[in-house]
Amino acid sequence: MAQHITSDNFEALCNTGKPLVLDFWATWCGPCRRMAPVIEELAEEYDGRAIIGKCDIEEDEKLPMRYSVRNIPTILFIKDGAVVDKQIGACPKATLQQKLDALL
């Protein structure tokens, strides 16, 4: 299951040494809802190798502001605390897998 990520737990998750995939989303966003099952599948498939999480932009405004998220879904790929790749908008699962595999 994808982790619930907020500005409160973000730094600790970045310091685990594992790549972090962070999906910025909202309940009212159609493309976000289409991506939700894909994010959950990635969380199961990469369990133990990467951290896959979601940040609801309605619940936490600080984290989206920190990364200048203006469109959702926005999916950030973070390694060692730095954004190394991102995906804006809905996409196929294979696209996210390719980006995540490059971090492992």
pLDDT at position 66, please?
95
pLDDT at position 89, please?
96
Average per-residue pLDDT in the chain?
96
Q: Please indicate whether residue 29 is annotated as part of the active site.
A: yes
- Average pLDDT for 34-59: 96
Task: Select which of 14, 32, 55, 91 is catalytic.
Answer: 32
Domain 3-103 belongs to what architecture?
3-Layer(aba) Sandwich (3.40)
pLDDT at position 75, please?
98
My answer on whether omega of the bond before 31 falls inside 30° of 0, hence cis, is no
List the 82-88 sheet strands across, edge first.
3-4, 51-56, 20-25, 74-79, 82-88
Task: Select which of 14, 29, 55, 91 is catalytic.
Answer: 29
At what angle are helices 30-45 and 93-103 packed, to 10 degrees?
A: 50
Q: How many other β-carbons are positioned within 10 Å of the β-carbon of residue 97?
A: 15
Q: Please indicate whether residue 55 is annotated as part of the active site.
A: no
pLDDT at position 40, please?
97
* pTM for this model (two decimals): 0.94
pLDDT tens string 66-85: 999 999 999 999 999 899 99
